[in-house]
Amino acid sequence: MAEQMVKFMVNGRSYEIPIEPHMTLVEVLRDKLDITGTKLSCGAGECGACTVLIDGKLALSCLTLAMTAREKNILTIEGLAEGGNLHPIQKAFIEHGAIQCGFCTPGMILATKALLDENPNPNREEVKEALAGNLCRCTGYVKIVDAVLAVAEEIRKGGS
């Protein structure tokens, strides 16, 4: 299939690369750009491991054709820390023991960012609902939800 040149931003950096129309965003990120923090697991939109943010909105990169990200801003887990400082969500996941094998973590953290950008004051049920599309086999989600609630409070306090 004919490749097409596609331009987009990933983590604040501009890329212009040839892409075959059938390629998914996760394939382009991982295989073409070597940005491997985004994980591929089910490949069918069931597990959330491949979650990224496109123009700030949550997207499953295994179901997103890379062509459709043309001219858009993509945020992956690698783009979250700023100037070597971990994002508060990353810190909270680390400090609350919310990370075990770590394979779901990039997706969980980005899904958390999408949640908190929209709703800075979620309750436990709202956090569980927001993360219902992100599967984890290690943690039982308990410390993940704890971490999200704690960082929400911290951001509210710090941001006010």
Q: Give the per-residue contact string, 30-49, with another protein (x = CB under 8 A; - = no).
A: x---xxxxxxxxxxx-xx-x
**Which residues in the chain belong to E strands, given as ranges?**
4-10, 13-19, 51-54, 57-60, 73-75
Beta carbons within 10 angstroms of residue 31's beta carbon: 13
Stretch that binds another protein, among 53-61, 64-72, 123-131, 149-157 (CB under 8 A): 123-131
Using the minimum distance from each CB to another protein, give the nearer residue, 25 or 35: 35
**Which residues in 20-100 belong to E strands, given as ranges?**
51-54, 57-60, 73-75
Residues in the chain: 160
Instruction: Quote the CA–CA distance of 90 and 42 in Å, as a whole number.
Output: 24
CB of 160 to another protein, least distance (A): 25
Total number of residues that touch another protein (CB under 8 A) = 53
Using the minimum distance from each CB to another protein, give the nearer residue, 124 or 160: 124
Question: Which residues of the chain form contacts with another protein (CB under 8 A)?
Answer: 30, 34-44, 46-47, 49, 76-78, 80-81, 86, 90, 93-95, 97, 99-106, 109, 127-129, 131-145
